Structure 1
């Protein structure tokens, strides 16, 4: 089986994405996760460009890696200096990285405009930079910046740059679609030409996603003979991002019959994707192919009915191959198959003729017409389902009343929120108060404060996300229409994350419903966990 080297540049190119910032400690943690995933090269950064990357290469010397090689990134030497006198260029060797990647101009526009030098001088700089570095390290990769744009306008110049890098000893010539504007046919035609002109050269590919084609272009490059692919986890990167390794890797392994990181390690792809998202403090993209939470989620009744018979009807791969799972969603589009599948997942298998199926379906469709969204708030649905099946109300406490107040005491001061809650647990009345960053946070803290004496595990719960949407025109149980709000709250503990929903004309009441569902779901899960231990 042919192998493809995976080169991850999340820690360098990925950090150029808007809203993505990583500390040195963040970069070290991600590097270890990428090593577990089995990528072959981890580009740690540009050691001469900023203090964070400089410190990263100092720190990373203390760490060991099983599968990955840390690489340092930089440029060819400054035209006004020499390899020996350019301090930023010298920092590549000072990084002590075993593999170095340097980029050079391969579009005459950049050579003459950005660097202000003649074409011949540009190829000389490429040749001398690689020749100087090569004896000191294990491998040198040459990133041919703007190669495809340059080749389209002046193929002789772009080819001369590649030839200079190859003759100087570059181990891989990485062809870069830096502006992300090339089409797969461009990639295909140009690489075929390069392979004819430089048949002995090892080729790599580095694509950007400005035309939504980064993954397609990378795969086409591999199809044409490239055996080194650069990209980032989740496609993070400048502008529209880089080629997404979370899509490239399974396509190489499962669809093209090539070996990248291997079947076993690929099962941790979802875990790696979410890990990087969490470290970067960015919410995972639900509809991201392969690794997104919605990648194998089925909502339409016809789809679910078919999937229950054979998942291949609506799934292009097995979710488990990348560490994902099949999900069946509930909504007013749901059919019986959706509900029967969810019943199995909840541990209550139902026969399709069971009268409770019709009862639950009717309640589901009624609530969704009122604005509830159970395809997202699966925890709230599970509570409703559990009550319908068992005939018992899930009520770990009895609500008596709550009161919420907001105040702003000085012109420049932040508003403060205070909530008081009165509940009854085991015939004992708890009356507590708490402040918070907004009324919902105050309510959540006051309720948990009242309940933690009886349910200590609630101290582990964290409110992770809060969304409000104003809806209008939904059918109410009175048959009329009205404007109202829907609140979705995402909570989590050390075991999992869950989402609950509340709907009301009053945002505080809707929030209260979602908070109460969150608490009840946590306690129900703890109860189930005890029974299985």
Structure 2
């Protein structure tokens, strides 16, 4: 039977210390529920003694039911020269209503003298008193030994004394922290091995990524005997981030054969990672291992030819195990094999010798020459292939659009779009404002389509990029616009190219909505009841 490893997620606490990340209470609750579905064992919700937002979070989750996870509150050991029962932060942990408290204390003698400015003996008392007090209140206590690895390398005897005090006080877990993220895997292995031979309390690892080794260090710790791993989804966290659970979980389960979460839960990993990135409003790197959009993407013709014979030639796992999928990129570097794979994915009748096949390959190469780049715009490529092989219903067609941009001396810029489109044979005029011309255009087009497809409100733009293709032409240069859209269940990318940035944006925008309306997302045409409510059905 596989050895079990517990996952401790601190996205809601340590992850929010990352630059650019701020989560509302509602955001934190959404993420907590998603993490519970994933099967993580502990969810650290925040520090109830530090701010009103975290206090509200614990009030909100107090009566909520979690199927897999224990909600954990975070705090520190008591203040120096005080009693634990008089410590506000410790009492806030108790009052938060959680069953698990995580507290940190100093392991490094340098920090004891410099940061909290007390004696080594008082620091040991602070650790013992705090753990013992929380245990007396009936809480499960996880003791985070802050800066443990740096402390051990500087003064191993004292570092060991600190965690032995936590054990003596009754800590349920002792977590060794590489707080500065400067340790190497072989150091982690050696020190965790020494700790395991000296204490009986279960050990965990909390690694930071300052040397880009947080995942490797976490795996090394587990192999040396740690049975809890702390980290964040997508590695969010202060400075260079925390250990990335989106990589650690599959590495532990698929590569090292530890029991972490169920196979079904593992299949939701990609969706959870992308969901958290959306809620946190953080762009997810396409090349992120396991869960990134390019993690199993193939571009070179030789590679694609090989994966047609056996996917394992260029893939280390089956993508579906983590809820991801294989992608074949089509570009000017691609051969017929790339287009063949894309056609097979779409169940299209692709024949290498067919004239239509040759025409579409030449068209793709011609468009690439004009500036299109389909390797980053799968949705636009799919629309192109479907149109060539089976024809597509024109859900809507543009008749015209106008843009008005007004800037006065004492006011901000106001953008307005007027759109005339034909939907199911009916011509519709709409106008809308936006915080820029593209946003106004998007709002006006949606205003026309929502009358027939109310669920299109679920679709929103998640990323927008503009690339200048001919720098020498300055402001008259041709540009490529790449749009990424999502409905929180799936994500797709489209593109447009033109010497006019508004026209290029229109092409990318309309491809995005066409893709959604052609059934590639959960968007569905309005039913009769919806049409009646919108006044589209005559009684």
Q: Please give the TM-score of this superposition, normalised by the length of structure 2.
A: 0.90
Match of 2:435 in 1: 437
Q: Deviations over 1:424-465 (max 9, x none)?
A: 566665454433222222233334445566666656654443
Q: Deviations over 1:260-291 (max 9, x none)?
A: 11222111111221222222222333221111
Match of 1:381 in 2: 381
Aligned residues between the structures: 522
Match of 2:48 in 1: 47
8 Å CA contact 2:102, 2:144 repeated in 1: yes
- Closer, same or farther in 2 for the Cα pair 1:108/1:521, shift >3 Å? same
- Closer, same or farther in 2 for the Cα pair 1:307/1:97, shift >3 Å? same
- Aligned pairs for 1:37-436 within 5 A: 37-198=38-199, 200-390=200-390, 392=391, 395-411=394-410, 413-424=411-422, 429-436=427-434
- Closer, same or farther in 2 for the Cα pair 1:457/1:181, shift >3 Å? closer
> What residue ranges of structure 1 are gaps of 5+ in the alignment?
477-481
Report the alpha carbon displacement of residue 143 of structure 1 after superposing the two structures with TM.
0.7
- Closer, same or farther in 2 for the Cα pair 1:106/1:312, shift >3 Å? same
Distance in 2, matches of 1:162 and 1:207, equals 17
- Closer, same or farther in 2 for the Cα pair 1:148/1:351, shift >3 Å? same
Report the alpha carbon displacement of residue 163 of structure 1 after superposing the two structures with TM.
1.5
8 Å CA contact 1:383, 1:394 repeated in 2: no
**SS of the counterpart of 2:279?**
helix
- Closer, same or farther in 2 for the Cα pair 1:361/1:196, shift >3 Å? same
Q: Deviations over 1:205-244 (max 9, x none)?
A: 0000111000000000001011111111111111111111
Report the alpha carbon displacement of residue 387 of structure 1 after superposing the two structures with TM.
2.6
Report the alpha carbon displacement of residue 405 of structure 1 after superposing the two structures with TM.
2.4
8 Å CA contact 2:219, 2:252 repeated in 1: yes
Distance in 1, matches of 2:379 and 2:264, equals 31
- Closer, same or farther in 2 for the Cα pair 1:171/1:446, shift >3 Å? closer
Report the alpha carbon displacement of residue 8 of structure 1 after superposing the two structures with TM.
1.1
8 Å CA contact 2:517, 2:523 repeated in 1: no
Distance in 1, matches of 2:265 and 2:392, equals 44
- Closer, same or farther in 2 for the Cα pair 1:91/1:399, shift >3 Å? closer
Distance in 2, matches of 1:268 and 1:499, equals 21
8 Å CA contact 2:173, 2:203 repeated in 1: yes
Report the alpha carbon displacement of residue 307 of structure 1 after superposing the two structures with TM.
1.2
**SS of the counterpart of 2:493?**
strand
Match of 2:481 in 1: 487
- Closer, same or farther in 2 for the Cα pair 1:344/1:110, shift >3 Å? same
**SS of the counterpart of 2:241?**
coil
Distance in 2, matches of 1:210 and 1:163, equals 28
Report the alpha carbon displacement of residue 69 of structure 1 after superposing the two structures with TM.
1.2
Q: Larger deviation: 203-212 or 348-357?
A: 348-357
8 Å CA contact 2:275, 2:488 repeated in 1: no
8 Å CA contact 1:99, 1:140 repeated in 2: yes
**SS of the counterpart of 1:144?**
strand
Distance in 2, matches of 1:293 and 1:212, equals 21
Distance in 2, matches of 1:376 and 1:292, equals 13
Aligned-residue CA RMSD in angstroms?
2.6
**SS of the counterpart of 1:521?**
helix
- Aligned pairs for 1:14-25 within 5 A: 14-25=15-26
- Closer, same or farther in 2 for the Cα pair 1:193/1:53, shift >3 Å? same
8 Å CA contact 1:336, 1:357 repeated in 2: no
Q: Deviations over 1:390-448 (max 9, x none)?
A: 4x57644554433322111242x221122333445666654544332222222333344
Report the alpha carbon displacement of residue 101 of structure 1 after superposing the two structures with TM.
1.4
> What residue ranges of structure 2 are gaps of 5+ in the alignment?
526-539
8 Å CA contact 2:149, 2:183 repeated in 1: yes
Q: Deviations over 1:102-133 (max 9, x none)?
A: 11100011100111111122112212221222
**SS of the counterpart of 1:64?**
coil
Match of 1:514 in 2: 508
8 Å CA contact 1:253, 1:262 repeated in 2: no
